[in-house]
Amino acid sequence: MVRRTQAPTTGGRRSGARAGSVPAPGKRSGGEWPSTGRLAARLLVLVLGLALLAWLSLLAGRLVRGSESFRLAALEVEGLRVVTGNDVLAATGLAQNDNVFAVDLRAVRDRVESLPWVKRAVVTRRPPDRLSIRLLERRRVAWINLGRVYGIDRDGVLLPGERVPGEDRRELDLPVISGLGPPDGAAYPGMVVTDSALVRVLDWWRQASAADSEFCLNVSEIQPLPGDGVRLLLVGDGLEVRMPTGQVAERLQVLEKLIARVYRECPDPAYIDMRYAGQVVVGSKERNPG
């Protein structure tokens, strides 16, 4: 006899027992802490660790600053040309046995850069007992007459008006800038002259020196002209040249070609005026006495 049996199925039937359970929100199996509690514990450990590190750093700093091993014994100065080591030492305000880690490097830098000849100073520590100072010194590019003659650098900073040890005599063979109004207040080495006419003259002189340094050796004086121009006085017979400040290299080339012709056709010229487009005006000393 054959019996028909039907395989048991679960379809359409619901078991009264659950196959598994899901923990309620905020609870973990096995008695674990809630996630917020664990996060708080980690944050507490982190805060305590940072506080410990800060305390150790402070303690180490005090120990270093109080240690006899880091007392200043010498300054190492690079870039000296006209500034002397004694000038730098006096400007720093430092004393032997100062702790190198207690020194305010920025304050030392500012004091050294207050020297008229110093354009930039970089100060670094050289443990255990030294500081290093690297200098970039200013250089005269011209003299300037402000009622008293000073040197002046390309940034318009006044420098001493006399030769200082370390300067080559050839460095003193520079033109004099004149014809400027008096400065605001008393002039002194280290002062920055901000006169707009001086800025134009210095920019012209920088370009001219780069374009034709040989010709520039013949310039004895430079004056600003009203508007956008300069007046040059040349060595020798004092020939005056007037030209605009633009296209410096091109105009110097034209001038050099013109000068020979000018002296050929006008034996005693007083000035050459190149400020007019397409033409050059030559004046004679006979027509322009004085």
What homologous superfamily is domain 68-137 in, according to CATH? membrane protein fhac (3.10.20.310)
Confidence of residue 200 (pLDDT cuts 50, 70, 90): very high
Paired with 281 in beta bridges are 273
Q: Report domain extents, the chain.
A: 68-137, 142-284
Residue 2 confidence (pLDDT) above 60: no
Cα–Cα nearest to 258, from 243, 246, 238: 243
H or E segment to which residue 206 belongs = helix 196-211
Q: Report the chain's mean pLDDT, rounded to a whole number.
A: 84
Position with higher pLDDT, 150 vs 48: 150
| Cβ contact 229:244 at 8 Å | yes
| Whole-number pLDDT of residue 34 | 57
Position with higher pLDDT, 217 vs 266: 217
Angle at 176 between CA 164 and CA 218, to 5 degrees: 105
- Interval 141-168: pLDDT, tens: 999 999 999 999 999 999 999 998 888 8
CATH 3.40.50.11690 fits 142-284, yes or no: yes
Residue 279 confidence (pLDDT) above 50: yes
| Whole-number pLDDT of residue 132 | 97
H or E segment to which residue 125 belongs = strand 118-126
Q: What region does 156 belong to: left with phi over 0, alpha with psi -120 to 50, or beta? A: left
How far apart CA 146 and CA 5 sit, in angstroms, is 124
Q: What is the pTM of this model?
A: 0.73
H or E segment to which residue 176 belongs = strand 176-177
